[in-house]
Amino acid sequence: MRQPDFVSPLRASNGWTSLLVRVLAIVPIALAIACGGGGSSGDDDDDCADDEKVAAPVEEIADTTGDGVVALEQPTAVAVDSDGNAYVAAATSDSVFKIEPDGTTSVIIDSTGDGVNALTFPFDVAVDADDNVFVAGSTSDNAFKIEPDGTITEIIDATGDGTNGLDRPRSIATDALGNVFVAGTFSNNVFRIPAAGSITEIIDVTGEPGGNALLAPRGLAVDALLNVYVVGLDSNNAFRIDPGGGKTEIIDSDGAGPGFGLDVPSDLAIDSDRSIYIASRDRIFRIPLGGAPESYLDNTAGGALANPMGPSTLHIDGDDRLYVSDTAFQRVIRVTPDGDVSVVIDDAGDGEGNPLDGPNGLATNEDDDLFVTGQNSDNVFRVPSALVCP
């Protein structure tokens, strides 16, 4: 894959302006419908040629008012189920919100947790193939499962597996078999919680047998072969844990070599070819299947990316497009498999007076619409994938 070429600069010398028409265009919803919105690239009712179409407008789908009763405060993560419902972990609200496609918003779990065990500072959220929602309570040192019928169950607490404790869980993920994985950032470990059976610690502070430690694990991902990946925020590395329990350090602080070091990695994502992408302090690394780490995206891409990035979280959609939340410049960057780079949302948010500040949570639905949480602006945006007539 060639290195990304930036195609949509957004930043003028006097600061953020508006997104280019190719990236974000504020158009009436009626036009979006007339041009076949909702993910279609065109139909017989189109009023313009395909090469004249522009991106559908960004929408703010939730703000600090939350569900009208519980405020949405510091939303840190988002996940989407098979029906297109978005689930948002709001850390200082001690709640997880459900936002339905029609905009209906409700709280599916709050600080009372399961009624016995509290949930505080929910930091990450995941959804499995059966649309069960899982949330990690960072300061309550636990995780919960919320079933589609609303049943809530605490699936792990501070005791971890009974021998090794769980402290400050800030990342949660699921695999195709229904296993749940929780990373304890302060306890320096990762647990596997099976649908049935005992909780198991699959990696701890010792990292791998070669003596490479795991410190402050963040960012979990599982590939198609059920390998689990985790980054060490403080150990400046990442590990693969295979289904048999074998552990391998896949990148260390050397990154891609001299001048391209891995520094404070915060998240990772895996594409359909099992290439691994890792967010570092000022760049994204890529590890192709069977290959060596390479510097994949940094400020040399030009345009708006001429400024140093501050990547925080990563997400890959169903078409293998990589999304990067850049908290240094309050924007989300998209990289296509062909290497084209664009900014799909910036600090202007929806362009209607609702800004984006602290983009963190990223997720896509089956139509590849992107959902973004503004951790500091206390809101959530939807960036449609549809192209519409201007």
pLDDT tens digits, residue range 172-229?
Answer: 999 999 999 999 999 999 999 998 889 999 999 999 988 999 999 999 999 999 999 9
**29 pLDDT band (50/70/90 cuts)?**
very low
Q: How does DSSP assign 230-294, residue by residue?
A: EEETTTTEEEEE-TTS-EEEEE-TTTTSTT----S--EEEE-TT--EEEE-SS-EEEE-TTS--E
CB 280 within 8 A of CB 262: yes
Looking at residue 305, what is its pLDDT?
Answer: 57
Residue with tokens 């209906």: 104
pLDDT higher than threshold 60 for residue 31: no
CA distances from 20 to 26, 202, 323, 361 (A): 10, 46, 18, 24
Please state the rounded mean pLDDT for residues 325-348.
93
Per-residue model confidence as pLDDT tens digits over 104-134: 999 999 999 999 999 999 999 999 999 999 9
Q: pTM (2 decimals)? A: 0.87
Looking at residue 119, what is its pLDDT?
Answer: 98
How many other CB atoms are found less than 10 A from the CB of residue 202?
A: 19
E strands within 81-121?
86-90, 95-99, 105-109
> Which residues make Cβ contacts (< 8 Å) with residue 300, sequence separation at least 6?
none
Residue 102 DSSP SS3: coil
Looking at residue 2, what is its pLDDT?
Answer: 39
Amino acid, single-letter form, for residue 37:
G
Give the least confident one: 19-33, 60-74, 177-191, 325-339.
Answer: 19-33
> Which residues make Cβ contacts (< 8 Å) with residue 259, sequence separation at least 6?
none
Looking at residue 308, what is its pLDDT?
Answer: 59
Residue with tokens 């840190």: 76
Looking at residue 307, what is its pLDDT?
Answer: 58
Looking at residue 309, what is its pLDDT?
Answer: 72
Cα 242 to chain centroid distance, Å, stands at: 23
